[in-house]
Amino acid sequence: MTTDDRTYGESALLTPANMMTAFRIVIAPVFVYLIVVDRISWWTSVVGMSAAASDYFDGIVARRHGTTRSGAFLDPLADKIIVLGALYALILSRPHGLKSFIIPAVLITLREIWMSVFRAKSAKKGISIPASKLAKWKTFTQDWAIAFCVLPITAHHTWLGVATIWIAVAMTLYTGWKYYVDGRRATLGAR
């Protein structure tokens, strides 16, 4: 997309894609609350699916209208809020939390903190680290792991959510390592 094809400039804030991302940030606490209070329910599932659908559609809209710096910051932030909030809510959910999610939640949290710091340091050097296709699949897999734990038709098969979250952990750690390698290469190339 050329700059002439863009509906919004790179510095735009109030774009349709950003509004969908803001929706995800606003709905995240509702989703987390529903998981803690009533993990296995259709209401929890519908709220979670709404958040996941808005993530999918805001990407389409952003590509169609042109990506923005604010969107590049807000979209991964919304993903982190939803995924990490949901993982910790699953651990705390009633009547008994999914304790098998503790290690995956900690590993994903550490990767996300490290990646945020790494991206911020790279940005100060003028290096942008965009999300890769595999990172988008990683988020998709994390979303499904959570969905398997709240959907009434799959939630009682705990192994399904646990297996999926470990696949997501592997993807999360791999994409973090790949971002680091690519970022270091870009930093060395920029010198």
Q: Which two tokens stand for residue 45?
A: 């599932």
C-alpha 180/C-alpha 20 separation (Å) is 29
pLDDT tens profile 62-121: 778 777 777 777 888 899 999 999 999 999 998 788 999 999 999 999 999 998 888 888
Note the pLDDT tens digit of each residue in 144-172: 999 999 999 999 999 999 999 999 999 99
Task: Give CA–CA dist 42/44, Å, rounded.
Answer: 5
Show the DSSP H helices in 39-157 as ranges: 42-65, 69-92, 102-124, 133-150
Q: What is the dihedral of CA 61, 67, 68, 74, to 10 degrees?
A: 60
Residue 191 has a pLDDT of 60
All structural domains of the chain: 3-190 (1.20.120.1760)
Residue type, 7: T
Tell me: pLDDT of 4 over 50. no
Alpha helix segments (H runs only) across 93-132: 102-124
How much is the mean pLDDT over the chain?
87
Bigger pLDDT: 7 vs 178: 178
Share of the chain above pLDDT 90, in %: 55
Task: Kindly tell me if the per-residue pLDDT of 184 is higher than 90.
Answer: no
Residue 127 · residue 183 · CB < 8 Å: yes
- Rounded to two decimals, the pTM is 0.87
pLDDT for the residue 97: 84
pLDDT of residue 1: 46
pLDDT at 68: 76
Whole-number Å distance between alpha carbons of 26 and 20: 10
